[in-house]
Amino acid sequence: MPPIQPGTYPPQAVKDLAFEVQDGSLTLFWSAPAEKEKDKENAAVSFKVLRARQTASEADCQTCSVRFQAVGDVRLAGRDPSERLQFQDRLDPGYKYRYKVIGTSAAGVVSKDSNIVHPNP
């Protein structure tokens, strides 16, 4: 087999996505996955925040697909790698939300999805 090119492996997925809601404002929190020394070139350099916003009837539909859309991008440049990352969004009444994040390496390779959070009352 030919050798595997550097930067072709995806970054590790975020596993600790969490949230806090206060006065209709949502804050997502997560940690950048710690990469082993040999995997540093595949580490995520940014994280895309994806949101699914549905009406109550759409959210209750068992056969309907959930469509996530990008609502933000959080870059690691200039941050301490141990610092928890954050993203803020406004929650509109009458909708149900789901959020997830995906990491992207410098080579543009994306990670698997993070855990999904449901910040609904």
- Residues 21-51 have pLDDT tens digits of 999 899 999 998 876 655 666 889 999 999 9
Give pLDDT, residue 39: 60
- The Cα-based distances of 87 to 61, 78, 103 in angstroms read 28, 16, 14
The C-alpha atoms of residue 27 and residue 21 are separated, in whole angstroms, by 6
Query: Mind listing the domains of the chain with CATH numbers?
Result: 18-105 (2.60.40)
Give pLDDT, residue 2: 59
pTM of the full predicted structure? 0.87
